[in-house]
Structure 1
Amino acid sequence: MHLAYLLIGSNLGDKATYLKNASSYIQQQCGQIVKQSSYYETEPWGFTEQPGFLNQAICIQTELGPAQLMHTLLQIESEMGRTRTIKMGPRTIDLDILQIDQETIDTPLLQLPHPAMHLRRFALIPMVEIAPTLVHPHFNKTMTQLLTECEDQTDVQKKIV
């Protein structure tokens, strides 16, 4: 059994419904959700000419291996109407694996831990909410320490939905 930390996000349509539906699909197809953060409204990162995001971190217990989990998440994105036209562009749903246990992987399909997690407040803030003492396997620092050191200045606000 693995503990997988995911970041889910949407910036099109009814964002909260997309996140709730994604959580339901993840629970059905990937594993039991054991922790979930609040929702966070965030500015777009990277490609900034698009609507803001609603993001949430979740932790699941899964029997799926990393590659199988990634394939399943990509299938869920597709089933939920995700199309990839602009890199980092607007999307109905985005499902990212941030970390699985203390695994490190570098393949064309998947990099673990997520290679940009430590650079993004919109990932670190919800992660600190659900796993403040989780240690990043490359930097040997907790999520709380990574957030404290993060230079990203994008606006991230807790949202009541």
Structure 2
Amino acid sequence: MTDQTVYLALGANLGNRREQIEQGIAALSEQGVCITNRSSWFETEPVQVENQPWFLNLVVRGETTLDPHELLSTCQRIEKNLGRVPSVRFGPRHLDIDILLYGEQCIESELLTIPHPRMAQRRFVLVPLLEIAPELTDPKHNQRYADMLSRLDEGKKVLRSLINES
């Protein structure tokens, strides 16, 4: 299989958030995803389940020969190895890795939907994604993500983190 460009969102709101995300990125690199770019760090308000700590988030771009389902398995294994346990949906977590895009592919299977089904409604995904890929277009709807972001209500806060300076 040839290399595919992938975009992944990583977030955490428990423990040492930055360290866990960095470990997740390192594990992705060790397991077949060559990271080629990454966004700044963003502090974001929790969504759905509001009584929990704020999240630290970023988006990475990578190249991989893993097929989409292998990539999903890899992401889930890394999450588990770094302390994620099944809990409340949208609840607190040590590490979350979401596959946003896999090349230009549109996938709808029992286990995986690409593009990520809720990314167009999530400022905490679109803001860092557009920082590293401002012209990116949704392959399913043929709309620019920048246009999708401009149509979103302000909603939850997405703040560029001061840890970008360190």
Aligned pair partner of 2:19 in 17, 20, 24? 17
TM-score normalised according to structure 2 size? 0.94
For these two proteins, the number of residue pairs brought into alignment is 161
TM-score normalised according to structure 1 size? 0.97
How far off its partner does 1:152 sit?
A: 5.1
How far off its partner does 1:84 sit?
A: 1.2
How far off its partner does 1:139 sit?
A: 2.1
1:93-114 C-alpha deviation (Å, 9 max, x unpaired): 0000011111111112110000
Q: Which 4+ residue blocks in structure 1 deviate beyond 6 angstroms?
A: none
Decide whether the 8 Å contact of 1:4 with 1:97 is kept in 2: yes
What SS is found at the alignment partner of 1:82?
coil
Partners of 2:86 and 2:41 lie apart in 1 by 24
Partners of 2:48 and 2:104 lie apart in 1 by 27
Q: Flag structure 1 segments of 5+ consecutive residues without an equivalent.
A: none
Partners of 1:38 and 1:115 lie apart in 2 by 23
Aligned pair partner of 1:7 in 6, 9, 22? 9
Q: What are the equivalent positions in structure 2 for 1:88-127 lying under 5 Å apart? A: 88-127=90-129
Note if 1:46 corresponds to 2:48: yes
1:26-63 C-alpha deviation (Å, 9 max, x unpaired): 11113110010000000001111211100000011000
Q: Flag structure 2 segments of 5+ consecutive residues without an equivalent.
A: none
Partners of 1:51 and 1:10 lie apart in 2 by 9
Q: What are the equivalent positions in structure 2 for 1:72-151 lying under 5 Å apart? A: 72-151=74-153
Q: What does residue 56 of structure 1 align with?
A: 58
